[in-house]
């Protein structure tokens, strides 16, 4: 009986001891876990603080960029206004002068007068090109561009030019095979490109010639557009300089045309900045085909 009590007591003590030991280990583990948790909490706190800071930084950056964009647009507005005002004075002044000269101006006076008027017109159109190029630059920085049908834009430009084409009896053919929308380039920039290519074709195509404007889209999502003319063409050695700023080939110079040379440079510049390519096939005396390609999807801004 005694030994049985002793045995039970012994087991009890052992169980208690084991329990205490277990509780001690458990509390140690809890302490470790708590410390661990505290550490994690701290880490989490500093991470979230970092995230908040980053967020604030990005927000600030965004605000700064928006401000820069707005001030750049203001800047373009002011510059274009300031440049146009004296050009207007020259142009309008010349018109008034013409009224005054009517009937009694001599040969050389009339010749000088026409030169001045032509220069005033060029000045106005150069300012327009410059301003539009600056705007292309701004559009390029925009995060997204609403999708639109490129055919509609190019068709509008071609139809506007058609009235002028009739004066030189130039046949205009449109072959718009491109399908779907593009969102890689804003519509103003595409319009500027189409205007320049069509204007260029018109300048160098003689009376009774033909101009074909075509668009296509391949399976890889590349949009292409070509403007083919039956104009004077460009010689092999002059080919290299075609897209170079402000240059025109000598053949073209002999035509005594009013083209500015700036147009093709603009086209190349804008297309390439939008991850596209420009190309030219030509034969002197036979005609030229200017083409460009563009990815239809928006590409990452460099």
Partner 1 sequence: MAETSAPRKGSILLVEDDEFLRSLVVRALGDVGYQVEIAKDGEEALAHVGHQVPDLILLDLVLPGFSGFELIAKLRQNDVTAKVPFIVLSNSAESQNKKQADDLGAVGYLVKAQSTPSDVAKFVEAYFVAHPHA
Chain residues binding partner 1 by CB under 8 A are 73, 76-77, 80-81, 84-85, 87-89, 91-93, 95-96, 124, 127-128, 131
* In the complex, minimum distance from the CB of residue 142 to partner 1, in angstroms, rounded to a whole number: 14
Tell me the two tokens of residue 237. Answer: 């050695």
In whole angstroms, give the CA distance from residue 189 to residue 183: 12
CB of 80 to partner 1, least distance (A): 7
Cβ closer to partner 1: 19 or 77?
Answer: 77
Smaller CB separation from partner 1, 73 or 250: 73
Residue among 97 and 222 whose Cβ is closer to partner 1: 97
State the minimum distance, in angstroms, from the CB of residue 143 to partner 1.
18
**In terms of CB distance, is 73 or 272 closer to partner 1?**
73
Q: Which of 82, 161, 76, 88 is nearest to 124 (CA)?
A: 88
DSSP H or E run through 152: helix 150-167
Least distance to partner 1, CB of residue 82, Å: 9
Closest distance of CB 187 from partner 1, Å: 11
Identify which of residues 139 and 289 has a Cβ nearer to partner 1 in the complex. 139
Alpha-carbon distance values, 41 to 27, 28, 54, 225 (Å): 20, 19, 19, 59
Query: How many CB atoms within 10 Å of residue 227?
Result: 25
Nearest-CA neighbor of 72 among 25, 131, 27? 131
In the complex, what is the shortest distance from the CB of residue 285 to partner 1, in angstroms, rounded to a whole number?
Answer: 36
Answer yes or no: are the C-beta atoms of 234 and 242 closer than 8 Å. Answer: yes
Nearer to partner 1, 126 or 174 (CB): 126
Instruction: Pick the closest to residue 292 from 182, 206, 180 (CA basis).
Output: 182
Q: Where are the beta strands (DSSP E) in the chain?
A: 171-176, 210-217, 222-229, 277-283, 287-295
């Amino acid at each position: 009986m005694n030994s049985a009590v002793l045995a039970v007591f012994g087991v009890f003590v052992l169980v208690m001891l084991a329990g205490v030991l277990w509780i001690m280990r458990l509390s140690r583990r809890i302490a470790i876990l708590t410390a661990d948790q505290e550490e994690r909490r701290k880490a989490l706190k500093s991470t979230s603080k970092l995230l908040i800071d980053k967020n604030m930084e990005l927000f600030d950056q965004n605000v700064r960029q928006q401000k820069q964009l707005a001030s750049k647009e203001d800047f373009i507005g002011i510059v274009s206004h300031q440049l146009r005002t004296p050009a207007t004075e020259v142009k309008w002044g010349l018109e008034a002068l013409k009224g005054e000269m009517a009937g009694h101006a001599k040969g050389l006076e009339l010749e000088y007068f026409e030169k001045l008027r032509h220069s005033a017109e060029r000045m106005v159109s150069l300012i327009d090109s410059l301003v539009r190029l600056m705007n292309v630059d701004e559009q390029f920085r925009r995060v997204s561009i609403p999708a639109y049908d490129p055919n509609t834009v190019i068709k509008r430009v071609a139809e506007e030019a058609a009235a002028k084409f009739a004066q030189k009896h130039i046949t205009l053919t449109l072959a718009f095979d491109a399908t779907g929308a593009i969102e890689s380039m804003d519509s103003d920039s595409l319009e500027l490109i189409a205007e320049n290519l069509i204007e260029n074709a018109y300048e160098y195509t003689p009376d009774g010639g033909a101009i074909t404007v075509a668009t296509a889209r391949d399976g890889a999502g590349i949009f292409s557009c070509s403007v083919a003319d039956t104009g004077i063409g460009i010689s092999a050695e002059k080919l290299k300089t075609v897209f170079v700023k402000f240059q025109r080939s000598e053949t073209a110079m002999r035509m005594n045309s009013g083209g500015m040379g700036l147009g093709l440079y603009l086209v190349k510049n804008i297309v390439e900045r939008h991850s596209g390519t420009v190309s030219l096939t030509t034969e002197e005396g036979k005609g030229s085909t200017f083409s460009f390609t563009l990815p239809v999807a928006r590409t990452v801004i460099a």
